[in-house]
Amino acid sequence: MTGDTIKNRDDLIAYLDAAMALEHATIPPYLTAYYSIDSTTNSDAAHIIRVVAVEEMLHLTLAANVLNAVGGQPDLTREGFVPRYPARLPDGEDDFFVDLRSFSPAAIDTFCQIERPGKAPAAGSRLVRTDPGKTMLAASPTVDGMHFFSIGEFYAEIIAGLERLAKADPGLFRGDPARQVGPEYFYSGGGTIKPVHDLDTARDALQFIADQGEGSDSGLYDADGELAHYYRFRQLQLGHYYQPGDHSERPSGPPLSVDWDTVFQVKTSARLADYPPDSELRAVAEAFNADYGRFLALLTRAFNGEPPLLQEAVWHMFRLRDGFNRLMRNPLPGSGGLNAAPTFEVPVFEAVTA
């Protein structure tokens, strides 16, 4: 299939909404692993995870720019935008679960699965049947019961659909340019935000997301010469940094030391129901969820005509550290000696948009 599941502008908007939810869905797992690391250890690992989390914000913003360019309206506060963890992602013919867990070999294995290169054997096998009754990220929002072979194939479908619709509809890119977020509102070490106003800029934005590590078959480095996310995480598994010219399985750079034991061991994918009712710890978990909801409301406003708020939202994301620490440094009763962790069961916040 080459964009066949995107037949009109409404289909395209549904796909771009799904792309934003997909990009966001990686942020809670990355932040959970990041904040579970004791601040006195694992500085290399913490830096890798932090940079990837910030770049996921870049991907989220690029997807919002494309959605705005075709006249959609980003809404990160809508019910269901934040998945219930463990969430499911495609892994070829099968799928895997993304948990909220401590920094560990299992967490890095999952991160590599999220970011892995993955190309369907043929265009006709880009879509795979989804198990009935299960929610799949990177599912087709227009073909019931089907999901994509990989995240890379999901984006390939959007790009192909964009190309087909733009050819048939010269007015496809009808969005208000004032809603575009430009590079002046965001800084990331890998890549920059670019406004979207036509097919070329939309295609470039989506291809950049794929090439930076979301499952495309683009090699170790993206078009800007930055190491793709998949290979950044592979460094943690292989114990060395990559250098230009390295084989994908034999990084030859400086050693990368990891201490898997100096980590706050938290309950995996904790839920509010795991917290004792009326306890102080439950109140902290609920306060964290509300604070995360405010973060999503800030992003929604930033993507709907108030782009300067993006900088405040990124700052807010890392201000969540206090909530992470108040949970992760305390035992969770009844969990077999594990500590508490955020649940990301986010209340619905109305974002006041421009």
What pLDDT does 178 receive? Answer: 93
What's the gap between Cα 71 and its chain centre?
Answer: 23
Contacts of 26 (CB under 8 A, 6+ apart): 53, 56, 98, 114
Choose among 43, 33, 50, 48: nearest CA to 259.
Answer: 43
Please count the CA atoms within 13 angstroms of the CA of 17 that sit on its side-chain side: 20
Domain that includes residue 55, residue range = 9-260
Residue with tokens 């560990």: 104
Contacts of 175 (CB under 8 A, 6+ apart): 68, 69, 70, 71, 72
> Which is more confident, 215 or 118?
118
In a domain, residue 111? The reply is: yes
In a domain, residue 267? The reply is: no
Please count the CA atoms within 13 angstroms of the CA of 176 that sit on its side-chain side: 11
In a domain, residue 323? The reply is: no
pLDDT surpasses 50 at 206? yes
State the CATH number of the domain containing residue 100.
1.20.1260.10
The mean predicted confidence, pLDDT, of the chain is 89
- AA letter at 34: Y
In a domain, residue 309? The reply is: no
Number of domains in the chain: 1
Tokens read off for 40: 């006195």
The answer to whether 339 and 285 have CB atoms below 8 angstroms apart is no
In a domain, residue 167? The reply is: yes
Choose among 301, 309, 280, 299: nearest CA to 354.
Answer: 301
Cα 120 to Cα 150: distance, rounded to the nearest angstrom: 8
Q: Encode pLDDT of 225-247 as tens digits.
A: 788 889 999 999 999 999 988 99
pLDDT surpasses 60 at 280? yes
In a domain, residue 337? The reply is: no
In a domain, residue 312? The reply is: no
pLDDT surpasses 60 at 217? no
Cα 323 to Cα 334: distance, rounded to the nearest angstrom: 21
In a domain, residue 133? The reply is: yes
